[in-house]
Amino acid sequence: MTKKLIVLNLVLISSLNLIKGQEVVDIRTCISTGLERNYSILIARNKEEVARNNYTLGNAGYLPTLDLNSRYSGTVNNINQTMNDGTEDISKGIHNTVASAGLSLGMTIFNGFNVRTTYKKLDELKQIGELSTQMSIENYLSGMIAGYFNIVLQVQLLDNMRYAVALSKERLRIDEDRYLLGSSSKLQVLQSRVYLNADSSRLSRQYEVVRAAQIKLNELMAIDDLSCRFDTKDTTIEITRGLLYEKLLDETLASNTSLRIAAKNRTISEYDYLLVSSRSYPYVNLSSGYNYNFNTYSQSSLQSQLTNGLSYGLTMGVNIFDGNNQRRNLKNSSIDIRNKELAYLETEQGIRADLLTIYNAYTNYLRLIELEQQNLQTARENLEIAMERYMLGSLSGIELREVQKSLLDANESLISIKYQAKLAEISLMLISGRIMDYY
């Protein structure tokens, strides 16, 4: 039993030495690294760049089009001709060539405000791209911050288990001294060793949890070496108090990214309706060009012919009847506008419900923290009294174990509730558009 205990203690000492990281990082460092390297953020930014590239005058149709084309062709023919008088005229290898080039210009003068509306729609799509990137960043930051404080949580739980091991070691020392003095039984010593081994085993497993949390944060930061070890600058979880529901609600309605995207989608559906309406207007197109043609003849009264010059045209038209498709498309566009409005209202309602639910949890966690702090203080006093009584022999080992467990459970409960309160705080900052305050 003694050998096993020594081996287990050596393993624990080795594990605890590995816990100490090579560097200390704070939340700002983690966020900065992640924003530069995280793959999902890079993908979102690339999509935003595509939407930005599409927002041009040319893509909307404001600018003219200019095309250049050229062609060179030829024919080699054999000709057999039979005259009315019965004579024949045979020509072989008649080679004729044609070289042509042209420059054509086209421009839309008017098509029912389609160009202007398209340009506005492209602007909205560009802004949606920016908001989508912002949403990806905000969601990423909430996960990053939660992961960072999860490490703080797990390290605190690790310290709590180390304290449990220290208490079990002290109890074993007391029982061994009492056994040597003849005031305790061997059974009591063995039971204390069992408790120590159990606490040591939990401590070893918690070390694995801490390492897993570190690796997860490295993954979020897209660190090349996922096994990189570090310590967090924060050693405790501090909660931002004083968040007011009314202020959060106003900030949410004004800044929530999902709500802003829903509003942009509603605006785009209105532009789509205008684009459909533009088909009912007449259209005017301008065209112009320059053409060059050069022909050569091997058997003709002409040896060659050159033709070049300008061309121009103005086209006007209007759709008279298209099988009522225009009317159908307008009705569908109207329905789509209504659907986008309903989607906006649904999003707003869902966000309001989430905000209220999270805020109630946040305030409840703050109350629980006060209760758990009082409970922890009481558990510490109970342990001091219990240890004195145990040393005097007026308290059984099982009773002492229960007192010890109550203290450790109280500390673990306080740490866990603080973490849950922090998660609620992060969610409130996310939903109200203030998540960047952590950066």
Q: Amino acid letter at 350?
A: G
In whole angstroms, give the CA distance from residue 95 to residue 296: 8
CA angle (11, 13, 16) in 5-degree steps: 110
DSSP 8-state class, residue 227? T
Q: What is the pLDDT of residue 394?
A: 83
Tokens of 335: 């329905």
pTM given for the model: 0.85
User: What are the domain boundaries of the chain?
Assistant: 2-65+112-281+325-438
The letter for the amino acid at 97 is: T
Strands 283-296 and 65-82: unpaired
The structure tokens listed for 119 are: 């340009």
Say what the pLDDT of residue 206 is.
96
Q: How far apart are the first and last CA of the chain?
A: 52
What distance in Å separates the CA atoms of residue 432 and residue 381, rounded to the nearest whole number?
Answer: 42
pLDDT at position 231 is 92
Place of tokens 């006007």: 316
Q: Which two tokens stand for residue 6?
A: 């020594």
Residue 408 is predicted with a pLDDT of 94
In angstroms, rounded to a whole number, what is the distance separating the alpha carbons of residues 179 and 174?
8
Question: Please, are residues 343 and 265 in contact by the beta-carbon 8 Å criterion?
Answer: yes
Q: What was the pLDDT predicted at 433?
A: 94
Angle at 223 between CA 222 and CA 227, to 5 degrees: 125
As a dihedral over the C-alpha atoms of residue 417, residue 419, residue 425, residue 426, rounded to 10 degrees, the angle is -150
CATH fold of 2-65+112-281+325-438, please? Outer membrane efflux proteins (OEP) (1.20.1600)
Pairing, β 283-296 against β 304-317: antiparallel
Tens-digit pLDDT string for the chain (439 aa): 444 444 444 444 444 444 444 689 999 999 999 999 999 999 999 999 999 999 999 999 999 999 999 999 998 888 887 888 878 878 888 888 999 999 999 999 999 899 999 999 999 999 999 999 999 999 999 999 999 999 999 999 999 999 999 999 998 998 888 888 877 788 888 988 999 999 999 999 999 999 999 999 999 999 999 999 999 999 999 999 999 999 999 999 999 999 999 999 999 999 999 999 999 999 999 999 999 999 888 877 788 899 999 999 999 999 898 899 999 999 999 999 999 999 999 999 999 999 999 999 999 999 999 999 999 999 999 999 998 888 888 888 888 889 999 999 999 999 999 999 999 999 999 999 999 998 8
Confidence at residue 22, expressed as pLDDT on a 0 to 100 scale: 64
> Which DSSP string corresponds to 7-76?
HHHHHHHHHHHHHS-SSEE-HHHHHHHHHHH-HHHHHHHHHHHHHHHH-SHHHHT-S-EEEEEEEEEEEE
